A and B are shown apart, each in its own frame.
Chain A
Amino acid sequence: MTPMLTITDLHVSTNDQPILKGLTLTVRAGEVHAIMGPNGSGKSTLTKTIAGHPAYQVTSGSLQFQGRDLTVLEPEARAHLGLFIGFQYPVEVPGVNNADFLRLALNAKRKAQGQPELSAKEFAPLLAERMAAVEIDPAFKDRQLNAGLSGGQKKRNEILQMVVLEPLLAILDETDSGLDIDALRVVAAGINTYRRADRAIVLITHYERLLDLVRPDVVHVLAGGRIVTSGGPELAAQIERTGYDDLVKAAGA
């Protein structure tokens, strides 16, 4: 079966600075991958490149989603295919109502997939159900999109967007940072519920604590713009104990 995400020898620059230098990664349906790595290793560049952020240029290599070349697609087209990025710093969009936005986003995707759009009346129960599933206060639907929310609330809002949009592949960039332990448990539960044989998840994180709650199938270490080593969940525990330095040196990166 075609993998969900296939990245081969990917080189990416921003502001003419090469950041990713030959990154290779394959993620299949049903898998949960974790990517860990020191600051500045290229983790956020990877997520923004996959999302199609205009400031990041693919200079060589390939980036495919279910066998389709992502690099030629606009960000919205990638979302319509079933890609979702939970951003490290979700952008505040003042004046935009959270529930209205979620419905617009879901309808944009449904329209692209040839499904009928949902009316506000049809969408309301779906939203209520998803909000309950990720334990978000119903009052959130009337808040502005991320504006005025705390860091932790923004991250939870990203998870809400994920469960509403139901992507095939969710890449969550440091979704655990800024969360207290209770919020982390809720977010982890949301991710675990979301986990399914036909979906894949990539967790980008600094901390093992999320990986204790969401057990990954594969753990990768990203350093210097490349995956330098990969292993099972025990790799995350090792990083927690000894840090990245030895691993990165051993890999000769």
Chain B
Amino acid sequence: MTPETNPWIAVRTAARARAQTLGLPTTAQEDWRYVDVRPLAADPTTWAASATAVAAADIDRHRLPGVPTLVLVDGKVVEASARYDSVAITPLGKLDEARRSALLGRWMAALAMEDDPTVCWSIADCAGGVHLAARGDAPVPLHLLVIASGGVQGCRVVIEVAQGAALELVITHVELAPARLSIAIEAQVGAGGRLQVDELQASGHAQPAGQHFSIVQLELGRDAQVAWTSAAQGGSLVRQRTAAVIAGQGATLELAGLLQLAGQRQAHVHTRVRHAAGNAASRQLFKTIVDGHAVASFDGLVAVDVGADGTDAQQRNHNLLLAPTARVDSRPQLDILADDVKASHGATVGRPDPEELFYLRSRGLGAEQALAVLNRGFANAVIERMRNPAARALAERVLIGTLAG
């Protein structure tokens, strides 16, 4: 195929054009109101980047015990030796004609209306990606190890969970050198299908210069169950955007996230949950621990369409401020157009409770250890939702391991 006729290049070119039209986000835009956008001014193309620099040891270091690995380096599937009856793994470039046209058609249509440049980047900078199709209902957990060698990287993961099928994924993002990563994961979960994702973002190098844009798009069919738990350490700019559409009655969506930020890191959670069908439930629990000069925000919206009666939606955001110099903003919102709806939202911002600290210290824990124990307790409600034991252990080690005492 010549570049002119290569459909991938055509959609990437369109995405790049759209991104240029949109320009860089500014805090004047409602969706970016709480984000310190200054890191975006850096030119990420000047950052060292070389896929060849990724050694086997870099990959091995991030494997999880007992969980087969699917490795993506800079968007390319470099290892998918694991073969299962329950999930078909296909690099995006090798999709069959029908799937490819459907996918590219969808992207092209979405681009025309897209106003978030990070979504455009995820296509424009997309060097590859992978398609996962779950067929069976007895999933073997799969570890999707997403490694970025540095520089500008885009990646798309497309997940199809067929009717009645199930998929359990652990996704870890590793950045070996400062990078601007735009990673989009789109999942369609069919009737009665189940998707469980435990996701961890951690920087693999000392300098938190990286920018990480996570874009998650979920569509839930009738009686589908999706549980997505993420834990992140932040970077110079991390933003996690999750948009879910509950399209079928009886579906259940659980979104949970933990941010633990220190130093100059920032991370922002942006969720949009739309109940388009009734008698479905959504639960959101996002917790943040901020220290130093870190900046975090939660901007969540639950929208209930006209006629989506019997909806049960809950949204919670709890924040723990460890330093007066840290900053956190919270904006939970409900937009309800149906009549018979149970919906609640709440947000708290607090400091460590001095009575709890004193109690722990009276039992012999040092001041620092007592604080660490409190932080761990705070984080636990999210960590314990991670279903995969290896993912849970990793999240504990990377995010709160130093707190274990």
* Residue from A53, A76, A85 having most chain B Cβ neighbours under 10 A: A76
Q: Nearest CB to that of B361 among chain A residues? A: A75
**Contact, CB under 8 Å: A76 / B367:** yes
**Contact, CB under 8 Å: A76 / B361:** yes
**Contact, CB under 8 Å: B364 / A96:** no
Interface residues of B: mostly helix, strand, loop or mixed? helix
How far is B360's CA from A161's CA once the two chains are assembled, in angstroms? Answer: 12
B405 contact set on A, CB distance < 8 A: 104
Report A99-136 residues with CB < 8 Å from chain B CB: 101, 104-106, 108-109, 112
Q: Is there a chain B Cβ closer than 8 Å to A95's Cβ? A: yes
Contact of A52 among B360, B362, B377, B379 (CB under 8 A): B362
State the Cβ distance, A4 to closest chain B Cβ, in Å.
18
B365 contact set on A, CB distance < 8 A: 76, 104-105, 108
How far is B365's CA from A101's CA once the two chains are assembled, in angstroms? Answer: 9
Contact of B369 among A90, A94, A104 (CB under 8 A): A104
Q: Nearest CB to that of A104 among chain B residues? A: B405
**Contact, CB under 8 Å: A95 / B379:** yes
How far is B364's CA from A108's CA once the two chains are assembled, in angstroms? Answer: 6
Report A77-92 residues with CB < 8 Å from chain B CB: 78-80, 85, 87, 90-92
**Contact, CB under 8 Å: B369 / A108:** yes
Q: B256-283: contact bitstring with A at CB < 8 Å (1 yes, 0 no)?
A: 0000000000000000000000000000
A76-B365, A76-B367, A165-B363 as given contacts; A93 in contact with B373, CB under 8 Å: yes
How far is B355's CA from A90's CA once the two chains are assembled, in angstroms? Answer: 10
Q: Is there a chain B Cβ closer than 8 Å to A54's Cβ? A: yes
Q: A54-75: contact bitstring with B at CB < 8 Å (1 yes, 0 no)?
A: 1000000000000000000011
Q: Is there a chain A Cβ closer than 8 Å to B79's Cβ? A: no
B369 contact set on A, CB distance < 8 A: 104, 108
**Contact, CB under 8 Å: A112 / B367:** no
**Contact, CB under 8 Å: A93 / B364:** no
How far is B267's CA from A69's CA once the two chains are assembled, in angstroms? Answer: 47
State the Cβ distance, A79 to closest chain B Cβ, in Å.
4
**Contact, CB under 8 Å: A101 / B364:** no
Q: Is there a chain A Cβ closer than 8 Å to B358's Cβ? A: yes
A165 contact set on B, CB distance < 8 A: 363-364
**Contact, CB under 8 Å: B359 / A91:** yes
Q: Is there a chain A Cβ closer than 8 Å to B366's Cβ? A: yes
Report B350-380 residues with CB < 8 Å from chain A CB: 353-356, 358-367, 369-370, 373-374, 376-380
**Contact, CB under 8 Å: A79 / B373:** no
State the Cβ distance, A159 to closest chain B Cβ, in Å.
13
Contact of A161 among B353, B361, B363, B377 (CB under 8 A): B363
Q: Is there a chain A Cβ closer than 8 Å to B393's Cβ? A: no
How far is B373's CA from A109's CA once the two chains are assembled, in angstroms? Answer: 16
**Contact, CB under 8 Å: A96 / B376:** yes
**Contact, CB under 8 Å: B359 / A95:** no
Contact of B367 among A74, A79, A101 (CB under 8 A): A74
Q: Is there a chain B Cβ closer than 8 Å to A51's Cβ? A: yes
**Contact, CB under 8 Å: A80 / B364:** yes
Q: Is there a chain A Cβ closer than 8 Å to B347's Cβ? A: no
Number of interface residues of A (CB under 8 A): 30
State the Cβ distance, A102 to closest chain B Cβ, in Å.
9
How far is B362's CA from A87's CA once the two chains are assembled, in angstroms? Answer: 10
Contact of B358 among A75, A80, A95 (CB under 8 A): A75
How far is B374's CA from A106's CA once the two chains are assembled, in angstroms? Answer: 17
How far is B378's CA from A96's CA once the two chains are assembled, in angstroms? Answer: 8
A87 contact set on B, CB distance < 8 A: 359, 362
How far is B367's CA from A234's CA once the two chains are assembled, in angstroms? Answer: 43
Q: Nearest CB to that of A103 among chain B residues? A: B405
How far is B168's CA from A172's CA once the two chains are assembled, in angstroms? Answer: 50
State the Cβ distance, A53 to closest chain B Cβ, in Å.
6
Contact of A93 among B356, B362, B367, B381 (CB under 8 A): B356
How far is B369's CA from A79's CA once the two chains are assembled, in angstroms? Answer: 14
Contact of A85 among B362, B376, B379 (CB under 8 A): B362
* Residue from B360, B362, B374, B379 having most chain A Cβ neighbours under 10 A: B362
State the Cβ distance, B348 to closest chain A Cβ, in Å.
13
How far is B374's CA from A144's CA once the two chains are assembled, in angstroms? Answer: 12
A53-B358, A54-B354, A101-B373 as given contacts; A95 in contact with B364, CB under 8 Å: no
A93-B374, A104-B373 as given contacts; A51 in contact with B381, CB under 8 Å: no
B360 contact set on A, CB distance < 8 A: 93, 101, 105
How far is B363's CA from A105's CA once the two chains are assembled, in angstroms? Answer: 6
A78 contact set on B, CB distance < 8 A: 362
How far is B362's CA from A165's CA once the two chains are assembled, in angstroms? Answer: 12
**Contact, CB under 8 Å: A93 / B354:** no
Q: Nearest CB to that of B375 among chain A residues? A: A95
How far is B356's CA from A229's CA once the two chains are assembled, in angstroms? Answer: 35
Contact of B362 among A79, A96, A104, A144 (CB under 8 A): A79
Q: Which 10 A-B pairs have the closest CB atoms?
A: A95-B377, A95-B380, A79-B364, A91-B359, A96-B377, A108-B364, A75-B361, A105-B363, A109-B364, A76-B361
- Besides A75-B358, A76-B367, A165-B364, 18 new A-B residue pairs in contact (Cβ under 8 A), listed by A number: A53-B362, A74-B361, A74-B367, A75-B361, A76-B363, A76-B364, A79-B362, A85-B362, A87-B362, A94-B378, A95-B380, A95-B381, A96-B374, A96-B376, A96-B380, A101-B373, A104-B365, A108-B364
Q: List, sorted by A's number, 18 A–B pairs whose CB atoms are closer than 8 Å.
A: A51-B362, A53-B362, A76-B361, A76-B366, A76-B370, A79-B362, A91-B353, A91-B356, A93-B373, A94-B380, A94-B381, A96-B373, A101-B360, A101-B373, A104-B369, A104-B405, A108-B369, A145-B377
List residues of chain A with CB under 8 Å of any chain B CB: 51-54, 74-76, 78-80, 85, 87, 90-96, 101, 104-106, 108-109, 112, 144-145, 161, 165
